[in-house]
């Protein structure tokens, strides 16, 4: 009869240790609005300080588009403004486009193109669009991950999490910074920002994201809840990061092109 009691005590100790780890992580994450959130992330594994994360909204606040529908050229041109920007992705001659006015409300989409599991992402606060491959290989095992928006920011940039392990990933870089996959990187898939007109001139057989996403966000497409970020003189970022951490060499809201190669970066102001 002693063995079950020993295992029971061990389970209690493990559970209490895990609970303390989660509570300590919550204490370290910045949460100025006391937002309630619960994670099963292994926060003992991290490559950046947990205090760099700021909770701004509960999980599930931003609805995700999973494996959406698409429109062919004629149907898309009937609905979309020809000069509005889209993220364009081309894999093996198959092209898809994701209008920013829709991704502003969703920020990412789990999708598949030409057999490749892709993740188009857009952070409206940083005006940054990156498309990733959702396949991650670690310890010889490859998994196809699905992602959501965490409701947290790091350096004013959207933090994603994968549904499988709830690791936290930086949208700008594709690096897992906290959790099981900490230190792993998502592969970047080349993409472009084009107008609707330029997209269909380049890819006449390409497809455009269907504006019927069957989410409550449909009624808000075309609006911009982040308009304060469009003006160079504004400083809305100070709520989410320390002002002294902002590089003073350019205006904080300046739009730039970032080129990263072989661990080197260069910035070109637009």
Banded pLDDT at 186 (limits 50, 70, 90): very high
Rounded Cα–Cα distance for residues 175 and 186 (Å): 6
Domain boundary among 224, 239, 257: 224
Q: Are residues 83 and 117 in the same domain?
A: yes
Q: Are residues 209 and 259 in the same domain?
A: no
Q: Are residues 145 and 246 in the same domain?
A: no
pLDDT of residue 26: 57
Mean pLDDT of 215-243: 80
Mean pLDDT of 158-173: 97
Range from 140-144, 189-193, 262-266 carrying the lowest mean pLDDT: 262-266
Does residue 237 belong to any structural domain of this protein?
yes
Q: Are residues 244 and 126 in the same domain?
A: no
pLDDT over 90, % of the chain: 64
Q: Are residues 195 and 158 in the same domain?
A: yes
Rounded Cα–Cα distance for residues 251 and 177 (Å): 27
pLDDT over 70, % of the chain: 89
Mean pLDDT of 183-212: 97
Rounded Cα–Cα distance for residues 222 and 57 (Å): 22
Q: Are residues 178 and 198 in the same domain?
A: yes
Domain boundary among 224, 239, 260: 224
Q: Are residues 231 and 178 in the same domain?
A: no
Range from 25-34, 144-153, 168-177 carrying the lowest mean pLDDT: 25-34
* Count of domains observed in the chain: 2
Banded pLDDT at 16 (limits 50, 70, 90): very low
CA quadruple 228, 234, 239, 241: dihedral, nearest 10? 120
Banded pLDDT at 162 (limits 50, 70, 90): very high
Q: Are residues 117 and 199 in the same domain?
A: yes
pTM above 0.85, yes or no: yes
Banded pLDDT at 21 (limits 50, 70, 90): very low
Q: Which range marks the domain in which residue 119 is found?
A: 59-224
pLDDT digit string (tens) for 105-122? 999 999 999 999 999 999
Q: Are residues 69 and 161 in the same domain?
A: yes
Q: Are residues 78 and 169 in the same domain?
A: yes
């Amino acid at each position: 009869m002693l063995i079950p009691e020993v295992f029971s005590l061990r389970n209690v100790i493990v559970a209490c240790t895990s609970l303390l780890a989660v509570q300590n992580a919550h204490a370290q994450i910045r949460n100025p609005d006391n937002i309630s959130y619960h994670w099963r992330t292994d926060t003992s594994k991290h490559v950046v300080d947990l205090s760099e994360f700021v909770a701004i909204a509960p999980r599930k606040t931003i609805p995700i588009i999973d494996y959406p529908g698409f429109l062919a050229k004629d149907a898309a041109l009937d609905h979309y403004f020809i000069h509005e920007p889209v993220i364009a992705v081309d894999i093996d001659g198959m092209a898809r486009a994701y209008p920013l006015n829709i991704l502003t409300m969703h920020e990412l989409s789990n999708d598949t193109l030409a057999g490749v599991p892709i993740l188009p992402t857009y952070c409206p606060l940083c005006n940054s669009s990156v498309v990733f491959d959702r396949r991650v290989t670690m310890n010889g095992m490859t998994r196809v991950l699905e992602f959501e928006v965490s409701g947290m920011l790091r350096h004013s940039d959207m933090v994603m999490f994968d549904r499988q392990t709830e690791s936290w990933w930086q949208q700008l870089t594709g690096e897992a910074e906290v959790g099981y996959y900490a230190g792993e990187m998502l592969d970047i898939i080349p993409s472009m920002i084009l107008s609707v007109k330029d997209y269909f001139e380049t890819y006449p057989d390409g497809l455009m994201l269907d504006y019927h996403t069957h989410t409550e966000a449909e009624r808000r497409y075309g609006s911009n809840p982040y308009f304060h970020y469009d003006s160079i003189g504004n400083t809305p970022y100070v709520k989410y990061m320390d002002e002294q951490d902002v590089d003073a060499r350019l205006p904080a809201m300046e739009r730039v092109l970032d080129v990263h190669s072989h661990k080197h970066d260069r910035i070109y102001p637009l």
